[in-house]
Amino acid sequence: MRRLAAGLFMVGFPGLEPPPATVALLQAGLAGIIYFARNVAGAGQLARLTAALQRDAAAEPLLLATDEEGGVVSRLPRGPARMPGAMALGAAAGPALVRRAALTTAAQLRAVGVSIDLAPVLDVGHVDGALGVRAFGDDATAVATMGAEWLRGLQDAGVMAVAKHFPGLGRSSVDSHLERPVLGPPGDALEPFRAAVAAGVACVMVGHAALPSVDPTGTPASRSRPVIEGLLRGEIGHAGLVMTDCLEMLGATGDVSVGEAAVAAVAAGTDLVLISHRPDLQTAAVDAVAAALSDGRIPVARAAEARARIAAASERFGLAARGHPDPDAAPFLLDRPSDRALAREIAERALTAVRAGSLPAGARPTVVDGGLGLAQALTERGVAVEVAEAAAVGPGSRPLVVGLGRIHDRGALAALAATGRPLYAWCVTPAGARDAAAAGARAVWVGYDATPAALAVAADALLGRVVGAGRLPVRAALP
């Protein structure tokens, strides 16, 4: 029973090599491994790690996954060829561009042996939503169109796509890492998932929000049979894999242990349980599911059904026939000149001028960017900058360039505006742009992420070399 149980789990591990507990699970029949940035030192190293894990695994083939959404959520080695994220693509407003980005992402993933991308994010967003720029936007039809294009591109290039986070977290301001969101009737939030299923998505990830309109018990979707079997499989018609989001999130547990959550998730209809971080919790959860199989709380037929779906997905994508990735070729395949050019093209088309404007010629600005990299991008273009912390900036006439990341301090922004200096703001999020405009910034740009391409375009915009062609993909109350 333990081998059958292990075959229902995907786990992560710390560091560049799997610890003994992870190796033991691999040898017990673990279904898959998820990579995080902590596992990656370079493209060649990651390709070698993939080959080593496949050799250690009893399961053939081992599923290897990562969250390569692009933009702010990227696990591949950082570099100029990293694709921008969903909201940048939403701002650029081009389905064909989405497909090109997905095809490129798939090629980069296959170069290091990754067979599953935990993307696209199909949550319908909101300017102040918890997912922020990870969502394509706040229009359900546009999210559905772009999400379907992304998953088709991935899957046409041989990488399984995972539509997430069913039934939709985008309009919630609650982070399921910290607590359980409670959603109202889903309405149009289901539209992108319907489109993904119609497009043949390989897998749907179920999140940890409660959906009382479907399951009045308040059970999180990841372990709710009415949500998984009733709504996702029954009403929407998804016949492929279903996986959980990470069960270490507090939205998933709270009232139960990780092991108990895993048992409930499998019993509710989940095929693949994700536990991303702690090997001790992973081992305990496998043991808990094995015990539940032995005593009948989970019918063996339910586990066999899940294993059959995993096997069918592997067969659909021909995973068993794939050889190991080439560690010598991987660095080039993750940094092709054509991919760099595509990343730049998307970043330029996404850049949104909430309030257009550029630095005066010859300006020597003070830059407060919290380490985003905007100061470096300006320096690379020959601009003499003074880098400062927000608290150290006082009154004066020297232009002030502020870079606002995913999370920003409105009080600090107001204090910078109060110095009286000419303020120029480049923002990762539309919410940041709203706040910068309210603070009286002369120019406000939105780049949607801090990839090398986005920062290069930001610097060029501040110097008047590019004009933002993007549009805000979420409604924001701009002053």
Looking at 245, 339, 435, 449, which residue is catalytic?
A: 245
Q: CA-CA distance, 146 to 350, in Å (whole number)?
A: 14
Assess whether 460 carries a catalytic annotation: no
CB 211 within 8 A of CB 227: yes
Question: How many CB atoms are closer than 10 A to CB 449?
Answer: 28
Q: Judge contact between 101 and 161, C-beta under 8 A.
A: no
For the question of residue 245 being annotated catalytic, the response is: yes
Please identify which of the residues 177, 188, 277, 326 carries the catalytic annotation: 177
* Residue 349, both tokens: 């088309």
Give yes or no for a contact between 200 and 194, defined as CB atoms under 8 angstroms apart. no
Task: Check: CB of residue 119 under 8 Å from CB of residue 167.
Answer: no
The DSSP bridge pattern shows strands 203-206 and 241-244 to be parallel
Instruction: Read off the DSSP letter of residue 364.
Output: -
Cα dist. 150→97, 122, 197 in Å?
Answer: 9, 10, 13
Residue 9 CA: distances (Å) to CA of 207, 251, 303, 309: 16, 19, 11, 13
**Cis omega (within 30 of 0) for bond into 165:** yes
CA-nearest of 163, 76, 78 to 122 is: 163
* 430: enclosing H helix or E strand: helix 430-438
ω before 337 within 30° of 0 (cis)? no
Count Cβ atoms within 10 A of the Cβ of residue 55 and give its class: 0-12 exposed, 13-18 middle, 19 or more buried. exposed
Q: Where are the alpha helices (DSSP H) in 67-217?
A: 86-92, 95-111, 140-156, 191-198
Residues with a catalytic annotation lie at 177, 245
